[in-house]
Amino acid sequence: VQLQLFPLPSFRAQPASLSFAAQDGSTVASTQAQAVMAYTRNFSFTLSVTYASAQDPHWLKLDSTGGTTPLTFNVTADPTGLTPGTHQATILATSSSASNSPFAIPVTFTIAAPPPPPPSIAVSDIRNAASLLSGAAAPNDILSALGSFPGCTAAQVLVDGAAATEIGRAHV
């Protein structure tokens, strides 16, 4: 009679963690595949999700509640309602047959802050560029715009719709 002892099987995951990213205000969900496998022998298990912040809406969805190893399932992250910053969740694989149960698969969802709005341009007056007088403009008049142009570090001169590099002897 020969007695062989085998260790309890254990979970392993591929990939070991998941990362998602979205822009603030996005409502487009993204999906990644996640595999749960076993060392030594296959076994059944269940899946659940926990969130690091109780204030977060439930942004992570699994297309499976469990099964038998090996199992590949889809993980979908939905940015709807999430504020800019990093959001954390954990996928838990649980089995009474696994030595490392519950097994945690960390998930990170980064919501990027929106870019700042462009500065406002305020034109206070349009004048004839030669006389600097306000009034009606005739076709082909050259005009000057006066006002506040925050952040404006360059201007472009167009002649007949094409960028001018020289007017008279002056370089633009």
Tell me what pLDDT residue 172 has: 45
Distance CA 120, CA 110 (A): 30
Quick: pLDDT tens for 81-119.
999 999 999 999 999 999 999 999 999 999 999 888 877
**38 within 8 A of 57, measured Cβ to Cβ:** no
Tell me what pLDDT residue 102 has: 97
Tell me what pLDDT residue 20 has: 98
| Residue listed under structure tokens 């959001």 | 87
Tell me what pLDDT residue 143 has: 77
List all residues 6 or more positions away from 160 whose beta carbon is below 8 Å from its beta carbon: none
Weakly modelled stretches of the chain, pLDDT under 70:
151, 153-160, 164-172
Distance CA 29, CA 22 (A): 9
